C-alpha cells in the first residue's frame, strides 16, 4: 500500500472514529504531500515523501519545545499526539547500536582521520540513515568517533 493510499484509509478511519487530532494531522500531512507534488511537478517517490514527513516531524518537535518554554501544556500534549501520528508513517527508527555501526563503517569508507573530515563523513552517512535516525544524534556520534 502506497503512502497516499494509507493516508486516505487512515483519514476515513479517523472520521469514523471521530478522532479530531488524528484527522487534522492526517489532513495536514496529505496537504504537505500535495504541495510538494505541485512544487516538484511530478508524483513523489518514496524518498521525497520521506523528506516531507521528516519536515512535518521536525516542525512538531520544534513546536513542542516552544510550547513547553511558554508553559502551554495543553498545546504540548496536542502536538505530541500529532507527532505520534506523523511518526506512524515513518520507517522504523535505527537503534543507537545500529546507527553507531553505520557511522563507524562510513568513517572507514571515506577514510576519515579527524575532525576536519566531519563534513565528508556526514555527507556520506546521511543518505544511509535518512528518515531512520535523527540528524542531531547522527552528528553527535560522528563527532564522538572523529575525536
User: Cα(120)–Cα(111) distance, rounded to whole angstroms?
Assistant: 10
- pLDDT value of position 75: 93
> What is the reported pLDDT for 1?
65
Average pLDDT over residues 102-122: 85
User: Residue 78 and residue 21: Cα distance in Å, rounded?
Assistant: 7
Number of Cβ within a 10 Å radius of residue 91:
12
pLDDT digits over 117-141, tens only? 888 888 888 888 887 888 888 888 8
- Render pLDDT for 20-78 as a digit per residue (tens, 0 to 9): 999 999 999 999 999 999 999 999 888 888 889 989 999 999 999 999 999 999 999 99
Using pLDDT thresholds of 50, 70 and 90, give the confidence band for residue 16. Answer: very high
What is the predicted pLDDT for the residue at 144? 86
Q: Average pLDDT of 103-116?
A: 84
pLDDT, residue 110, reads 85
Q: What angle do CA 11, 94, 25 make, to 5 degrees?
A: 20
Question: Distance between CA atoms of 102 and 107, rounded to whole angstroms?
Answer: 9
Kindly report the pTM of this predicted structure. 0.76
Amino acid at each position: 500500500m502506497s503512502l497516499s493510499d494509507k493516508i486516505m484509509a487512515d483519514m476515513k478511519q479517523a472520521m469514523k472514529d471521530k478522532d479530531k487530532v488524528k484527522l487534522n494531522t492526517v489532513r495536514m500531512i496529505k496537504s504537505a504531500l500535495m504541495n510538494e507534488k505541485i512544487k516538484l511537478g511530478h508524483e513523489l517517490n518514496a524518498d521525497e515523501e520521506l523528506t516531507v514527513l521528516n519536515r512535518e516531524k521536525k516542525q512538531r518537535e520544534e513546536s513542542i519545545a516552544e510550547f513547553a518554554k511558554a508553559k502551554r501544556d495543553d498545546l504540548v500534549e496536542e502536538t505530541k499526539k500529532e507527532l505520534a501520528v506523523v511518526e506512524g508513517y515513518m520507517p522504523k527508527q535505527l537503534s543507537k547500536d545500529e546507527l553507531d555501526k553505520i557511522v563507524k563503517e562510513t568513517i572507514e569508507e571515506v577514510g576519515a582521520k579527524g575532525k576536519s573530515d566531519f563534513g565528508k563523513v556526514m555527507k556520506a552517512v546521511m543518505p544511509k540513515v535518512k528518515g531512520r535516525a535523527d540528524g542531531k544524534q547522527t552528528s553527535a556520534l560522528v563527532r564522538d568517533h572523529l575525536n
